[in-house]
Every structure is written in structure tokens, then in C-alpha cells.
């Protein structure tokens, strides 16, 4: 839905408004606070009672997230704020802000900032445009999804190539936002729990993306370009357990990681 203009007062903190405000942020130029749009219309993505109603005079949840992103941008001028970071910090803050232990919950902002900063230290290259085509950039990672698909399901890979469905049409969002926009929040947290516990978490993310493609292969093989793009941009399977199980199966089968793939490609070009 469209986000309406106008800013909510502190006495009206709505649990879900944080989600909407984060999705309307523009790339940083100047003061981040002046660039954040109104929370506006509330989207019914998550149960409305997940966040406790804050006392009058307290900050709304979206203001906490706003400050985290602002401070991160100031401390990291080389990357600053890039649209999409809000989708990364959202699930982290949600987890801490809904902790049943009130003492832990009090430190939600600090804990979120610490975890977000650490996660971005590993994921930041995805948000730096000048690195897009480098070995560690997002382009290499997107191509890695198709490289894995070619290895695991050649028929599906050839079909998507035939239809000229480029990996950047859908995997850019999947990879940069760690699938945070493809599933409901509880499912995102479940995916992240598995992802971050893996020894090579971002290699496993590529496995998950490949699993998502293979699980809808029957639809992709018969659909035309438009139908398939709709499927990929609005992923139909909501059972993340099935997706993670398939990803684990692919992991057992083995595959060179994205770095090895990019190195091999570079060697081919040189030779």
C-alpha cells in the first residue's frame, strides 16, 4: 500500500509503523532524520501485538531504528546509509525489543546496534556500488546463484537462460537483504538463525536461494517470462522449513563457493 504523508506523534506509537517507515527511506544525503518519511499506513505483515504499547512520551520503535541507522552512517562515512540497511536492522531490533525478559529488553537499542554493526562488517560490500563487479561484490554473488543452479538443475538453468531471466532481476534483493523481504518476520528470523549458525553463512545464503528456485522448478519450467518474474518477485512458498531442508541437501551434495566460482571465471578470462 501507499505510505501517507505526515508524521505520527509520540503518543501514537504503532507496533508495525517501524516496518513501513523503514521501507520508505531514501539513500542518505545530508541528515538522515530529515529523509525519513512518515510511518503512515500500517501494513499487516506481523501480528499487531508483538510490540508492547509504549508509554506516552516514550520514543516510538521506528525512532530507535532511525537513530541506529543514523549513528551507523556517521561512524561509517565510507558507506554511510544505503537503502536496504533498514531491512537488515529491522529483524534484529524486533528480536531484542520483544524479549520476554524486561531487563534484556531495556538494552534492545544497544544490542541491536552492536549486532547490526558486526553483521554489516561482513555484508557491507553488497551495499558499496564501486565494489559491485569485484570478486567480493554483489554481481559475483548473484552469478554464483546461477552457477550453483547450473550444477544442481541444468534443465531449470537452461530454461531461465532461454527466457533471459537474469539473476540480478531477483537475486539482488534476496542477497543484499538476506531474504528479509521474501518472508514474514518469524520466518526471516528462522532463516537467519540457520544462516548465522553456519560456518560459511553467506555461502549458505546462496544455497538457500538455489533451493528456492529448485522448489518452484515445475512452475518455472512451464511459465512464460512475465509469470516467472512474478513468481520470483513474490515467492510463493511460505514453509521455510522445506526451503532450509532443501538447502541442506544441496550443501551435502557439495559445490564450490562463490569465491571459488569468481576465481575460476577470472582464470578463464586471463587464459
- Higher-confidence residue: 231 or 39? 231
Please report which confidence band the pLDDT of residue 58 belongs to, taking 50, 70 and 90 as the band edges: low
C-beta of residue 22 within 8 angstroms of C-beta of residue 93: no
* Residue 160 in this model has a pLDDT that exceeds 90: yes
For position 254, what pLDDT does the model report?
Answer: 73
- Higher-confidence residue: 206 or 6? 206
* Residue 3 in this model has a pLDDT that exceeds 50: no
Closest CA to 221 of 159, 142, 149, 138: 159
* Residue 68 in this model has a pLDDT that exceeds 70: yes
- Higher-confidence residue: 42 or 104? 104
Predicted TM-score (pTM) of this structure: 0.73
Mean pLDDT of 171-182: 94
Q: How far is CA 136 from the centre of its chain?
A: 17
Percent of the chain with pLDDT over 90: 54
* Residue 183 in this model has a pLDDT that exceeds 60: yes
* Residue 189 in this model has a pLDDT that exceeds 70: yes
**From the CA atom positions of the chain, what is the Rg in Å?**
20
For position 167, what pLDDT does the model report?
Answer: 94
Taking the CB of residue 82, how many other CB atoms lie within 10 A of it? 18
Percent of the chain with pLDDT over 70: 69
How far is the C-alpha of 212 from the C-alpha of 232, rounded, in Å? Answer: 9
Please report which confidence band the pLDDT of residue 127 belongs to, taking 50, 70 and 90 as the band edges: confident
* Residue 55 in this model has a pLDDT that exceeds 80: no
* Residue 2 in this model has a pLDDT that exceeds 60: no
Q: What's domain 130-270's architecture?
A: Orthogonal Bundle (1.10)
Mean pLDDT of 102-117: 94
Closest CA to 190 of 238, 240, 236: 240
For position 208, what pLDDT does the model report?
Answer: 97
For position 92, what pLDDT does the model report?
Answer: 96
For position 135, what pLDDT does the model report?
Answer: 66
For position 83, what pLDDT does the model report?
Answer: 86
DSSP secondary structure of the chain: -PPPSS---TT---TTHHHHHHTTPPPPSS-GGGGPPP--SPP-SS-TTSSPPPPTTSPPHHHHHHHHHHHHHHH-TTT---TTHHHHHHHHHHHHHT-SSHHHHTTHHHHHHHHHHHHHHHHGGGG-GGGTTSTTSHHHHHHHHHHHHHHH-HHHHHHHHHTT--GGGTHHHHHHTTTTTTS-HHHHHHHHHHHHHSTTHHHHHHHHHHHHHHHTHHHHHHS-HHHHHHHHHS-----HHHHHHHHHHHHHH----HHHHHHHHHHHHH-
Domain locations in the chain as residue ranges: 17-127, 130-270
For position 130, what pLDDT does the model report?
Answer: 65
Instruction: Supply the mean pLDDT for the chain.
Output: 77
For position 59, what pLDDT does the model report?
Answer: 67
Amino acid at each position: 500500500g501507499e505510505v501517507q504523508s505526515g508524521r505520527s506523534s509520540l503518543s501514537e506509537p504503532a507496533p508495525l509503523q517501524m516496518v513501513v517507515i523503514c521501507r520508505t527511506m531514501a539513500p542518505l544525503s545530508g541528515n538522515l532524520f530529515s529523509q525519513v518519511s512518515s510511518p503512515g499506513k500500517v501494513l499487516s505483515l506481523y501480528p499487531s501485538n508483538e510490540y508492547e504499547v509504549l508509554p506516552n512520551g516514550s520514543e516510538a520503535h521506528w525512532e530507535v531504528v532511525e537513530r541506529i541507522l543514523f549513528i551507523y552512517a556517521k561512524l561509517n562515512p565510507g558507506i554511510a546509509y544505503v537503502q536496504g540497511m533498514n531491512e537488515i536492522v529491522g529483524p534484529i531490533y524486533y528480536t531484542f525489543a520483544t524479549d520476554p525478559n524486561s531487563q534484556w529488553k531495556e538494552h534492545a537499542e544497544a544490542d541491536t546496534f552492536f549486532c547490526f554493526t558486526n553483521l554489516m562488517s561482513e555484508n557491507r560490500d553488497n551495499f558499496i556500488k564501486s565494489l559491485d563487479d569485484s570478486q567480493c561484490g554483489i554481481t559475483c554473488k548473484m552469478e554464483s546463484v546461477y552457477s550453483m543452479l547450473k550444477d544442481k538443475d541444468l534443465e531449470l538453468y537452461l530454461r531461465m537462460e532461454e527466457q533471459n531471466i537474469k539473476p540480478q532481476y531477483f537475486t539482488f534483493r534476496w542477497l543484499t537483504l538476506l531474504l528479509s523481504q521474501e518472508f514474514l518476520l518469524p520466518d526471516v528470523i528462522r532463516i537467519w538463525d540457520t544462516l548465522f549458525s553456519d560456518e560459511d553463512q553467506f555461502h549458505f545464503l546462496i544455497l538457500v536461494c538455489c533451493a528456492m528456485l529448485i522448489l518452484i522448478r515445475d512452475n518455472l519450467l512451464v511459465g512464460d517470462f512475465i509469470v516467472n518474474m512474478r513468481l520470483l518477485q513474490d515467492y510463493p512458498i511460505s514453509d521455510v522449513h522445506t526451503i532450509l531442508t532443501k538447502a541442506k541437501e544441496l550443501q551435502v551434495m557439495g559445490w564450490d563457493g562463490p569465491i571459488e566460482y569468481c576465481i575460476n571465471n577470472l582464470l578463464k578470462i586471463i587464459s
